[in-house]
Structure 1
Amino acid sequence: MFKKSLLTGLAAVSMLAFSFPVESFAHANTHTVQKGDSIYKIAMKHGVSAQQLQAVNDKENTEIYPGEQLQLPVALSASEKDLLARLVEAEAKGESYAGKVAVATVVLNRVESDRFPDSLNGVIYDGIQFSPVLNGTINQPASAESKRAVNEAVAYQGFDRESLFFYNPDKAQSDYLSSKEVTTIIGDHVFLR
């Protein structure tokens, strides 16, 4: 009797699991536009500004269409903000506030990019991307300025020049990076896409 109940329960759970639409398994940072959606409604649902949602999707107006996939700005938990602030502190110590915002922005751009992992932890701990991860300085506490820089970068998503890389040419050389387009130079860091 118990075995029959267990099998019936498993069958029901399996049917439920496979009956959800495929889009529910889509990338966590996207939204599929439904009939009746608007930029404003989607922005409110996800806790971002309508202007930021438009900027992330390169939309000059608020027109959207059912079935369209919209990229959502990266939303971070308190622990993720702390991790990013510690990375910014270690990577951009001694740089200007603008340089710290730009470093945080690169990390957020990577989360949104198809070329990198789609989580903050995945991007930060992706191989040998960031020297503070390798040398352990990411474990040091972040300054108040680095924390503010992270908050500004989160609010700034979609309004940047889509930088995906940065480096200090006085400390590192890279043939790979030298082939990339320079988006801006802030302090000792060169930002590229």
Structure 2
Amino acid sequence: MKKTILKLVAVSTLALSLVAMTAPQSKASAATTHQVKAGETFWIIGNKYGVPVKSLMSVNEKTSSLLMAGEKLVIPSSITASEKDLLARLVHAEAKGEPYAGKVAVATVVLNRVDSSLFPNDIKNVIYQKDQGYYAFSPVQNGTINQPADEQSKKAVQEALAYRGMGNKSLYFYNPNTASSKWITSRQVTTKIGNHVFAK
């Protein structure tokens, strides 16, 4: 009798363990799909999840931007939460006081570098890259990257992620009033936003 009770307890414990192990997985898999609501576009959905519109369309084998309410889309993987936070902190430190479009553009520069063969292939290594003893981004050098990001910077990162792979491929930005490098000012200018010049 005692052995039977012990067996039942062991089986119940095992069953509960399996439920506990599978519950987070089913929750995670549910988060990989999105049911389209009326009026939603690829841009809105990409911005919501922080995934490139191009990837969203590609994964779902879409060749046009037409979406039907009720259809389900697979949401491709994006960068991690810690990478988003790091990028948002860089944007906050680099583009404080700049227009919102300038914040998106700063985040886009980092993503363009990740996608370029000229730079490291992940966000952390791009942001912390050193050249001749100096960090590529001054907030890393002076420590302001450690300050928390504001909501606008976080939103700018989401938008830059949705925009990833489109645009003019800017790899650099600088303030012409404070830049001391002649090399940076020799790069091809792609756009100017606020106090920053963007270039490639």
Q: What TM-score do the two structures reach when normalised by structure 2?
A: 0.61
Aligned to 1:78: 81
Aligned to 1:95: 98
Aligned to 2:116: 113
Superposition map of 1:42-81 within 5 A: 52-53=54-55, 75-81=78-84
Q: Deviations over 1:11-48 (max 9, x none)?
A: xxxxxxxxxxxxxxxxxxxxxxxxxxxxxxxxxxxx95
Q: 1:135 aligns with which of 137, 142, 161?
A: 142
CA distance in 1, matches of 2:148, 2:114: 23
CA distance in 2, matches of 1:55, 1:167: 33
The unaligned stretches of length 5 or more in structure 1 are: 1-46, 63-72
The alpha carbon displacement at 1:92 in A equals: 0.2
Are 1:74 and 1:112, in contact at CA under 8 Å, matched by a contact in 2? Answer: no
- Give the letter for the 2:105 counterpart: A
CA distance in 2, matches of 1:153, 1:54: 14
- Give the letter for the 1:85 counterpart: A
Are 1:110 and 1:116, in contact at CA under 8 Å, matched by a contact in 2? Answer: yes
Aligned to 2:159: 152
Are 1:55 and 1:159, in contact at CA under 8 Å, matched by a contact in 2? Answer: no
The DSSP-based 3-state class of the residue aligned with 1:99 is helix
Q: Deviations over 1:85-137 (max 9, x none)?
A: 00000000000100000000000000000000011010000012000001000
Tell me which moved more, 82-91 or 173-182.
Answer: 173-182
Aligned to 1:178: 185
Are 2:173 and 2:196, in contact at CA under 8 Å, matched by a contact in 1? Answer: yes
- Give the letter for the 1:105 counterpart: T
The alpha carbon displacement at 1:156 in A equals: 0.4
The alpha carbon displacement at 1:55 in A equals: 9.8
- Give the letter for the 2:127 counterpart: I
CA distance in 1, matches of 2:183, 2:176: 13
> Alignment length, in residue pairs?
132
The unaligned stretches of length 5 or more in structure 2 are: 1-49, 65-75
The verdict on how the C-alpha distance between 1:95 and 1:163 changes in structure 2, with shifts beyond 3 A counting, is same
Aligned to 1:33: none
The DSSP-based 3-state class of the residue aligned with 1:108 is helix
CA distance in 1, matches of 2:97, 2:161: 21
